[in-house]
Amino acid sequence: MADEDPFLWLEDVTGEQALDWVRTRNAETLDELTGGERFETLRAEIREVLDADDRIPYIRRRGDYFYNFWQDATHPRGLWRRTTLDSYRGEHPEWEVLLDVDALAEAEGENWVWQGATVLRPDYRRGLVELSRGGADATVVREFDLEQRAFVADGFQLPEAKSRVGWIDEDLIYVGTDFGAGSLTASGYPRVIKEWRRGTPLAEATTVYEAKPDDVSAFAYHLSTPGFERDFVGRSLDFYRSEKYLRTPERLIRIDVPEDAQTTVHREWLLIRIRSSWTVNGRDYAAGTLLAARFDDYLDGSRELTTLFEPDAHTSLEAYDWTRDHLILTTLSDVRTELHVLTPNEGWRRAPLTTGLELGTAEILDTDPDDSEEYLLSTSGFTEPPTLSYGHVGGELELLKQSPARFDSDGTAVDQYFATSRDGTKIPYFVVRPNAAVGPTLLTGYGGFEVSRLPGYSGVIGRGWLARGGTYVVANIRGGGEYGPSWHTQAIKENRYLVYEDFAAVAQDLVERGITTPERLGIQGGSNGGLLMGVMLTRYPELFGAIVCQVPLLDMRRYHLLLAGASWMAEYGDPDDANEWAYISQYSPYQNVHSGRDYPPTLFMTSTRDDRVHPAHARKMVAKMREQGYGVRYHENIEGGHGAAADNEQLAQKWALLFEFLWEQL
């Protein structure tokens, strides 16, 4: 079937014929959607939100300093900077700029995009900085001296690749990269992990672990907590299964847990979060349970486990974070956040951590697990601007920063409803309504990879949609993590259709409740959510008035052959297996778009530099629909990676195109 595809030439990402096609489509879309007063106003207002000087500069502690990466109109590519807590408490913190990415890009003639830095504990004097060209996942790695605020001339450096790096000590790092033939997995990630010593050629680095070619990737990392220094290596068999080993000078010791369990080690403790049911020592544990054991005892064969969290029909574990001596649990109860503190040395005593939110989200942004009980807490809601607070477990919570409102939310109602999917499952969703009138409604969802969609503040959505009278809806469909691992696993592979039935049920419920009509209901989603949009277009077109499909998967016959696609076969299945293609083929949008149908107006958006989801998915879908006579719209940003925008100017343009299209159609 793949050999019969007439649009395979569009898979040549930077081929001149393909780029000529892209430029033509872009020009058509920009000519239609830009230039009008509403578009220009939308873009200006969104850019104002993105560049606002009074945004919260979110911070992470590294030693004595708190670090921040900041982008604004003057520094579109950004500043890596740091300050002290006392200075941060003031209205205008004094920032020490470590790296100006704009200046670096200009000096080197590269379109650098910041991708983060790994800083060496405990002195935090050296960092491994990652930069990508145009926002791609592939990065270059360079060692950086934080005291001199300069790259280390003879330091650790790697050319562009999808690398994994991590410090062991000041003169030794773990590195997984493109070492040549056979060093990458079929998904394009490192298969081989090596130890690389300062001052030696990369070619002389010592191999410490190898994964298999069909694994997703290999990994290694060093824990540097004083008195509990440990090294781990392992392999990700697929997106959800892994093998992890404690690396000692003598041998590798397997962490004997189910392959789909997640494990973390802190000081003397091993935490195990299971994704499927598990029976140990005659006791059954449900999927989504969090268990604790003493690490050394567990490796010696003990299976004495303490249950720290057990899910029920309404409650799941969203995250957990260690301070030095306490564990903070973030749970969801019907998609509403609750925080709890567990203290291991007191029989794992549990106490609530108050957030003051009802229909909002609380998130632990950072802790200091080596040295203190400190934590940083971020809260926000659909109509509640973000706040950043600082506290210590057992102490008072100090408000550090609060973002001003970006739009007028007076009179805006936030409600949670439940739709009934085709199989009878109740599907929660949030509705944000600035008025009671039946008007344009934007529905979004994701439904994959155990990713939860939670209530949160968006000045962009507020300015571009809510403030103009639009209703905004977030659907918590299966495939996500809102009710724990089973909410996800019941909708993978052959049961993928449940994701799409859930989303369709929410759309129908909105109409039945009188919130909107099909003609005024628009939908938007990206990546796996872009696949969701493609399925809605081809299977449920009568439910919608407009669709925006971003950085999508659409050709599910070839997705596993394109870029990182092979790493997602645990989610979707293997198209080369006839039995699995039988169910994938039932929903794959590219294979199920046909002429003569009444499809709603659709805008496809992607990025040339997306090296995670291939831009050919969107390109080929649009080419096929155009051949079938549909007036579909298309825009491909040359930069941007999987986020489809490399800076705030591009991000404002992307959002303005999306909103202009939806307002025009709805």
Is the bond leading into 122 cis (omega within 30 degrees of zero)? Answer: yes
**Strand ranges for 152-251 from DSSP E:** 157-161, 164-169, 172-176, 192-197, 206-210, 217-223, 230-236, 242-247
**Coil, strand or helix: which one is 16?**
helix
Distance, in Å, from the CA atom of 113 to the CA atom of 131, rounded to the nearest integer, reads 6
Strand partners, 292: 271, 306
Distance, in Å, from the CA atom of 440 to the CA atom of 472, rounded to the nearest integer, reads 9
Distance, in Å, from the CA atom of 328 to the CA atom of 322, rounded to the nearest integer, reads 6
Known active-site residue 340: no
**Coil, strand or helix: which one is 466?**
helix
**CB crowding 50-86: b at 16 or more within 10 Å, else e:** bbeeebbbbbebbbebbbbbbbeeebbbbbbbbbeee
Report the interhelical angle of 616-627 vs 16-33 (nearest 10°). 70
In the numeric block, the tokens 């992890």 are attached to 244
Chain centroid to Cα 432, Å, comes to 23
Tokens of 320: 């957990």
Q: Which of 217, 527, 567, 588 is catalytic?
A: 527
Distance, in Å, from the CA atom of 115 to the CA atom of 482, rounded to the nearest integer, reads 28
**Coil, strand or helix: which one is 126?**
strand
Known active-site residue 595: no
Beta strands 602-607 and 633-637, pairing class: parallel
Four-point Cα dihedral 164, 166, 168, 173, nearest 10: 50
Is residue 614 within 8 A of residue 565, CB to CB? The reply is yes
Let me know how many helices (H) and strands (E) the chain has, helices first.
13, 39
CB atoms within 10 A of CB 41: 15
In DSSP notation, 578-596 reads HHHHHHHTTT-GGGS--TT
Beta strands 441-444 and 471-475, pairing class: parallel
SS (H, E, C) 201-223: CHHHCEEEEECCCCCCEEEEEEE
Four-point Cα dihedral 636, 639, 645, 649, nearest 10: -100
Is residue 560 within 8 A of residue 568, CB to CB? The reply is yes
Distance, in Å, from the CA atom of 315 to the CA atom of 334, rounded to the nearest integer, reads 6
Q: What are the C-alpha distances in Å from 563 to residues 138, 559, 604, 609, 646?
A: 11, 8, 19, 12, 20
Is residue 379 within 8 A of residue 389, CB to CB? The reply is yes
Nearest to 141 by CA among 82, 202, 191: 202
Q: What are the C-alpha distances in Å from 279 to residues 41, 296, 305, 496, 651?
A: 59, 21, 11, 27, 48
Residues classed as catalytic = 527, 642
